[in-house]
Amino acid sequence: MNQLESMGAGLASFAIKRPVTIGMIFLSMLLLGLLASRLLPLEKFPGIDIPEMVVVVPYQNASPAEVETMITKPIEEALATMSGIRELNSRSNENESVVHLQFDWGENIRAKSIEAREKVDAIRHLLPSDVQRVMVYRFNTSDMPIFQLRVSSERDLSNAYDLLERNLKMPIERVPGVSKVELYGVLKKQISIRLDSARVAALHLDLSQLTERLQQANFSMSAGDFVALDRKILISPQGEFRSLDDIRNLVIKPGVRLDDVADIGYETPERTEGRHLDRTYAVGLNIFRESGSNLVNVSTAVLKVVNQANQNPAFNGINLFIMNDEADAVQSSLGDLVEAGLIGAVLSILVLYAFLRQFSSTLMVVLSVPFSLCITLGAMYFFGYSLNILSLMGLMLAVGMLVDNAVVVTESIVQERAHIKDPIAATKAGVSKVSLAVIAGTITTMIVFLPNIVGEKVNVTVFLEHVAIAICISLLASLLIAQTLIPLLSTRIKLKDTQATKPEGPIKRGYLKALAWTLKHQGATAAIAILILFSTAIPMGVVSNDEANEGPDKQLWLAYHIQGNYSLDEVEKEVDRMEAYLYANQDRFHIKQVYSYYNPGHAVSGITLNDEVPVKAADIKALIMEDMPSFVRAKPSFQWNTGMGGGVKITLLGQSSDVLMKIADRVVPVLGSINGLTDVRADINSEQQELRIKVDRQKAYRYGLSAGQVANSVATALRGSNLRTFRHGDTGEEDIRLLFDRRIQHSVDKLRHLPLLRQGDKTVTLDMVADLSLAPRMSEIRRHERQTALTIGANLGEEMTLGQAQTQIRTMMDNIALPTGYAWQFGGSFNNNNRNRAVMQLNMLLAICMIYVVMAALFESLLLPTAVITSLLFSFTGVFWAFMLTGTSMSIMAMIGMLILMGIVVNNGIVLVDRINQLVNSGLSVPQAIMDGCSTRVRPILMTVATTVLGLVPLALGSTKIGGDGPPYSPMAIAIIGGLIFSTLTSLFLVPLAYLLLLKLRRKTVNLFQDSRQLVGRLGVK
């Protein structure tokens, strides 16, 4: 008896001697698990730091070229010196600069965000002086909004900010667990100081001095303290505006008040974006939760506040629509998983009873499931994990495996009782004989996840880690139960030996007869095994590699591609026309609702389909495009799918945007000719017009003006200038903006005659010191790895797979000659899919090596693991045949299933080889030991396989998806079921044969060395 066997017998002996202690321990664990199930945070995904960071610099009303030169490039150069950057992208438009950094998984994003802020602060002096904020965002899966609310009404909601803030936003913010509420689509009123340009010029007011005067007039500060009468008194000079009259009566020049040159009052800022829901203007609210809070409880409390608001008379005529409630998706997905797990558990119990034919022994084995699950929940609570989609998936996958150890131990005890009358002695003997097998089986099942936890990180392995934690803890708990609680209960329950009391059944007799034939005809069996392995090539040629079409298909996104620089009202007219067309054909297109978002130059509509749609999403897209009316200002098409990180995309790289657009004009028709690619287009934003003002420095100097003063005057006239906020209004802090009258903002002619200053009786206007001209410009400039970039994308057709698309696109692009200094590369799903596959394949190879290492260490033999590992090879054959028969494609979920499968299939071989080896060591001949060992172990193997397979059948047959809208679980379940069944059927014959052939090989090798020594001895060589 080796150390592991003696340890197993020792645990069983302790449990039998201390039944009350063991009972209290497991009862405590059961209660702890039940309590933890109530305390564990419930969420969709665990809180994982996404290795991405975004640096945003708002800079309103500037040209994209200026933003790129003055802001984007300096920030890129500063951030590029950071380590661990995998990809650096940026975009520059008229309102902001956005730099997006992707890091390798495993990088400390919190530390990186601090470093990024320091890098940007170091070059802050290189940025324009009127840049007010530089924002650095990092992301966590728990930072996503859990509740998205849309507000629509026939009433005008443009002035509804106060109503929505007081009666909806603020009550939601008070809900326990809510961290932040974003209200957008409606703007808070501001105090506008609109200057009359003629009066400003007539009174000889300097605009920069006026702005500085307004800034200095509104202040609040601390001026120190003094001590009087032994008391410390703080000094706080007050200079804040306390009313609009304070602003109006501000003296800006002797004898001149601000009210003399400006109109002062409340205004709603001009809208820069809009939303429609069901063809009415909509306002949006995003609700975020605190870290560690229960998602479902928070969502329920928020929904209660929303329902109360609906009853409020102030909301008459206002519709509150829940666009997205993460709690629904979580409860639906968790409910589907629990239902599948319960069905699988019931099927497993029925199978166990069919084998054991005794209710008490079946109940004893089944007890390992709830105890193991409760122990796992308790451990997850103390380790700081949450109950989410991934951890519950791990628990559900483990349900069918939790009885495996208990079954093997129970069967061994039953067999020992047949010839040992003392139940305690029989129990100890039964446990010791299988301790090595159950420990080795449990460790090999767990060890397959180690490369994913400690190896190279990609998004799949990071999320798989949370699945692995749940599986590993539950399997360790089941091992502990099989070594302690099961032996204890077996001494208290009268177990019936169905094998001893009944003759061998026809299945067992047939198996032993076939096994005897296998051992007798070793060459023929080996040839059959090789043919089976080679047969894997048949399904491998049929099974496709497909990822991009696994995403949700209940929502379609229609992009408008506005052709020009149109105002918000003009874009809204195009949206109205599209929505009218969609709602006119609502039943025909199976549309549930339409939500649209638009801003100047951009619009997109989200089409939500009905819950039950009789046709494919691709067919609905074709119907919509077929009869779509023509648009003058837009070229609508469906957006690219974003499954696995960005759809089918290639990126063109170079220096000039104009050259890249010319290349794209050549590439798009070529890619569009590929059968199976749809919606092929270049991601080019509409061209806009730019009014360029070129200051004549000589003319400006004659009038006492500098180019900077002219530019500041124009900027204030068009963009306005932010002043210190007004803090004494009824609605809290309010913005104050210095602006010119609206006529200048909407008329080029008025802008030409913008008064800059007055000299005597003469007014100096803008056109006297500058030339104004219209010129085209890009609406947005994008860069990739510090080069100008342009993306070309497409959607996959029904019959096109990601691998096929990649091959055909590469062939086409290799035949297109690009100018010197220009290149192309794959992007989107291609990069993510290739990276994920490469890492998963490497981890699977490492897992096989680690399984072998663990078995070799436990068995203290190189021979036995080699025999067991044969079952692993045939499991892959079963996987591919199962995929071909069920029409399942090879996806990342399928590869996860294969990874889990590797840890499971070797258990059968371990149980067989361990028992055969025990019988060989006891003195039996190898053939007889194989026959006897397989005879005693075939039943527990079939029982464990049946429970595992039946536990996964509901997932394989169902349509349950991760999170309710992610990839389906079925490929993973089909991989495990197909591989496990096929491996079991083959390993029952081929593992014993491999064991026998390896023993023969070892004997021949030993004989060869002995003969060599004898030969050397005869030759007299020393």
The CATH code of the domain at 1-39+358-496 is 1.20.1640.10
412: helix, strand or coil = helix
- What is the residue-averaged pLDDT of the chain? 80
Better-predicted residue by pLDDT, 369 or 778? 369
**Confidence check: pLDDT of 840 > 80:** no
pLDDT at 549: 46
Please answer whether residues 383 and 466 qualify as being in contact, where contact means their C-beta atoms are separated by less than 8 angstroms.
Answer: no
Alpha carbons 373 and 396: distance in angstroms, whole number = 10
Alpha carbons 737 and 247: distance in angstroms, whole number = 12
pLDDT in tens, 187-236: 778 888 888 877 877 777 777 777 778 877 776 666 677 777 677 777 76
Specify which of 28-32, 495-499, 754-758, 857-861 reaches the highest per-range mean pLDDT.
28-32
Do domains 1-39+358-496 and 49-140 share one topology? The answer is: no
**Confidence check: pLDDT of 824 > 50:** yes
**Spacing of C-alpha 154 from chain mean position:** 37
Alpha carbons 950 and 965: distance in angstroms, whole number = 25
Question: What band does 644 get if pLDDT is binned at 50, 70 and 90?
Answer: very low
Question: What band does 555 get if pLDDT is binned at 50, 70 and 90?
Answer: confident
Query: Average pLDDT for residues 846-875, to the nearest whole number?
Result: 81
Query: Average pLDDT for residues 165-187, to the nearest whole number?
Result: 85
Alpha carbons 865 and 848: distance in angstroms, whole number = 11
How is domain 555-688+787-827 classified at the CATH fold level?
A: Alpha-Beta Plaits (3.30.70)
Question: What band does 550 get if pLDDT is binned at 50, 70 and 90?
Answer: very low
**Confidence check: pLDDT of 69 > 80:** yes
Measured at the alpha carbon of residue 504, what is the angle toward residues 501 and 510, in degrees to the nearest 5? 170
pLDDT at 962: 67
Indicate the range of 94-103, 127-136, 355-364, 728-737 predicted with least confidence: 728-737
pLDDT at 863: 77
- The ranges assigned to domains in the chain are 1-39+358-496, 49-140, 206-219+237-260+689-778, 505-542+861-1013, 555-688+787-827
How is domain 206-219+237-260+689-778 classified at the CATH fold level?
A: 3.30.2090
Specify which of 64-78, 323-337, 746-760 reaches the highest per-range mean pLDDT.
64-78
Question: What band does 450 get if pLDDT is binned at 50, 70 and 90?
Answer: confident
Indicate the range of 35-39, 175-179, 596-600, 863-867 predicted with least confidence: 863-867
pLDDT at 708: 78
pLDDT at 763: 76
Indicate the range of 306-315, 349-358, 558-567 predicted with least confidence: 349-358
pLDDT in tens, 782-798: 888 888 888 887 777 76
> DSSP alpha helices (H): ranges in 40-173?
64-67, 73-79, 109-122, 161-164, 170-173
pLDDT in tens, 961-1007: 665 566 777 888 888 898 888 888 888 888 888 888 888 887 777 77
Query: Average pLDDT for residues 420-442, to the nearest whole number?
Result: 83
Query: Average pLDDT for residues 913-937, to the nearest whole number?
Result: 82
How is domain 49-140 classified at the CATH fold level?
A: Alpha-Beta Plaits (3.30.70)
Better-predicted residue by pLDDT, 927 or 460? 927
Query: Average pLDDT for residues 881-896, to the nearest whole number?
Result: 82
pLDDT at 1022: 47
Query: Average pLDDT for residues 20-28, to the nearest whole number?
Result: 89
Per-residue three-class SS string for 607-630? EEECCCCCCCHHHHHHHHHHCCCC
Better-predicted residue by pLDDT, 456 or 114? 114
pLDDT at 291: 75
Quote the percentage of the chain above a pLDDT of 70: 90
Query: Average pLDDT for residues 669-691, to the nearest whole number?
Result: 75
Using CB atoms within 10 Å of the CB of residue 227, give its burial: 0 to 12 exposed, 13 to 18 middle, 19+ buried: exposed
C-alpha torsion 562→567→569→572, nearest 10: 20
Query: Average pLDDT for residues 427-445, to the nearest whole number?
Result: 83
The CATH code of the domain at 505-542+861-1013 is 1.20.1640.10
* Distance set, CA 258 to CA 30, 244, 264 (Å): 75, 11, 9
Please answer whether residues 53 and 109 qualify as being in contact, where contact means their C-beta atoms are separated by less than 8 angstroms.
Answer: yes
**Confidence check: pLDDT of 469 > 50:** yes
pLDDT at 234: 77
pLDDT at 506: 77
Question: What band does 64 get if pLDDT is binned at 50, 70 and 90?
Answer: confident
Better-predicted residue by pLDDT, 631 or 4? 631
pLDDT at 58: 86
